[in-house]
Structures are given as C-alpha cells and as structure tokens.
C-alpha cells in the first residue's frame, strides 16, 4: 500500500531538492571566475555543516533524523560538485586530450583530469561509512555512496561513448573535458549501468513497501528509491536526445549574456 507520508512526501522532497540544488550549482559555476572564491567558501561551510548534520542525525532512527541525514548528505555532495565544477578540485591535467592516444593511455590521461575529485569523493564515502557503521541511522552514508556510484558510472560511460553526450551545463573553463568523451554510440556498458541502477531502485522500493507505514525505515527506503530513479533518468538522458537546458536553462543566464557580449565585441 502506498503511503502519503512514507512514499509520496519523500519522493516530492527528493525531486525538489535535486532540481533546485542542481540548478544552484550550475548557476554558481557558470558565473564569472571572480565569484568562485565566495561560492567555494559558502559551499565549504555548507559541506562541513552537512557533515555535522549527518553525524548528529545518525544517532537517531526517527523520521525527522532520516530527512536530516538525507539533506546533510546532499550538502556534502553539493560541496564536492561545486569544487569540481569551479575547477578547484578536478585533476592535475587541465587541458584537452591527445587525439593520438588510445586504450589505457587515453584512459590514464582522462583519469588525470578528474583524479583529485574522485579521490576526495572516495575518501568522504569511506569516512561516512566508518562513522556510520554502528549507528541506528545510516541514511547519510548510504545516500552519499549511492550518488558516488551513479556519478562514477556516468563518467565512465561518457569516456567510453554514449549516444547523447550533452554538455550544456558544463562550464566554459572545463570545456576541455569534452575532448575526453567517447564517440556517440550505444554500448552494453550504458545498458548495463541503467539496468544495474534500476535493480537497486527496485530493491529500495521493495524495502519501502515492506516497511511499517510511516516508519523511518519506509521514509529512508523511499528517499533512496527516488534517488536511484533520478539516477536511472540521468543515465537515460545519455541515451536519449535530451538537453540539460530544457530543465536548468534558468541557471545559465550569465554564460549566455557573456557569449552575447563577446559576439558584439568581435563584430
């Protein structure tokens, strides 16, 4: 039986936070570079706050604590995303790919563009897992690890090649990352990634449906189900002709304005 408080509300909360948070991060990293220091300071404060929130909420298995840990995990995740997309924590390589490289040589070069970001995410995931190992509320760590896994699969798929490597939301200072994208093609890896995340979503959904109505277990599983559903959609976007600007065009006005100004100058 579908519950309003146990299933529908967590779904609405997750989608709303995902939509707004993604747009705000896109807006921040597409502004002038002079604003990045302030954005990173705010993001860092939010990330540290999120970590503290996760630790405090992990001590309680009540519904409010589940929501709090969920929001805290997204705050920490948003800090990492902002650090990457502003270029503060990307990788040692900050230039386009060598078109002559293939195979593992190309992979190593591509990995060098995101190495610092991936290591930071992995260390944070390990930290949250270790801190949450014996606590009653493990939603914060689970949310972060799930998002890390889904983001990693999307990056690998982009490297191998996907039918729709849309990059509208990629800021201009990271435009060189497009040269590491594989050819536009459908692969078994992308199909397997979608199927794997969908299987995880189905498992979380089964937990949500089996949990006592209105319980913290039901809310937590519903939050994870919705998050996995969004992961499935993001991977489907890699296979379908979908433009990021259709949802988050409002977050990119400064880039368009800057492009218009450059066009006026050159003409």
Domain spans, the chain: 4-254
The answer for residues whose C-beta is within 8 angstroms of residue 159's C-beta and 6 or more apart is: 107, 110, 180, 181, 182
170 Rama class: left (phi>0) / alpha (psi -120 to 50) / beta = beta
Average confidence (pLDDT) per 10 residues, the chain, 267 residues: 84 93 89 92 96 96 96 96 93 93 94 95 96 94 97 95 84 92 94 97 96 93 97 93 74 54 44
pLDDT at residue number 262: 45
pLDDT at residue number 248: 75
End-to-end CA distance of the chain: 63
pLDDT at residue number 264: 46
| Cβ proximity of 119 and 90 under 8 Å | no
pLDDT at residue number 253: 58
| Cβ proximity of 166 and 245 under 8 Å | no
pLDDT at residue number 26: 87
């Amino acid at each position: 039986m579908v519950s309003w408080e146990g299933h529908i509300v967590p779904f609405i909360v997750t989608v709303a936070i995902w939509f707004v948070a993604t747009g705000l991060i896109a807006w921040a990293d597409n502004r002038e570079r002079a604003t990045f220091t302030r954005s990173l300071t705010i993001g860092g404060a939010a990330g540290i706050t999120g970590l503290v929130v996760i630790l405090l909420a992990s001590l309680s298995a009540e519904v409010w604590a589940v929501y709090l840990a969920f929001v805290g995990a997204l705050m920490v995740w948003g800090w990492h995303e902002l650090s990457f997309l502003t270029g503060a924590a990307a990788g040692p390589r900050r230039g386009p790919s060598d078109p002559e490289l293939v195979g593992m040589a190309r992979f190593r070069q591509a990995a060098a563009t995101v190495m610092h970001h991936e290591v930071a995410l992995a260390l944070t995931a390990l930290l949250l897992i270790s801190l949450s190992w014996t606590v009653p509320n493990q939603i914060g760590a689970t949310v972060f690890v799930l998002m890390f896994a889904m983001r990693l699969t999307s990056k690998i798929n982009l490297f191998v090649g996907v039918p729709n490597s849309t990059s509208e939301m990629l800021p201009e200072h990271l435009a060189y990352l497009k040269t590491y994208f594989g050819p536009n093609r459908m692969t078994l890896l992308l199909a397997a990634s979608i199927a794997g995340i969908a299987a995880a979503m189905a498992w979380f959904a089964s937990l949500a449906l089996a949990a006592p109505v209105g319980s913290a277990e039901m809310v937590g599983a519903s939050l994870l189900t919705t998050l996995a559903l969004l992961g499935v959609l993001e991977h489907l976007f890699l296979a379908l002709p979908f433009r990021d600007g259709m949802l988050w065009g409002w977050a990119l006005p400064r880039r368009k304005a800057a492009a218009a100004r450059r066009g006026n100058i050159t003409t």
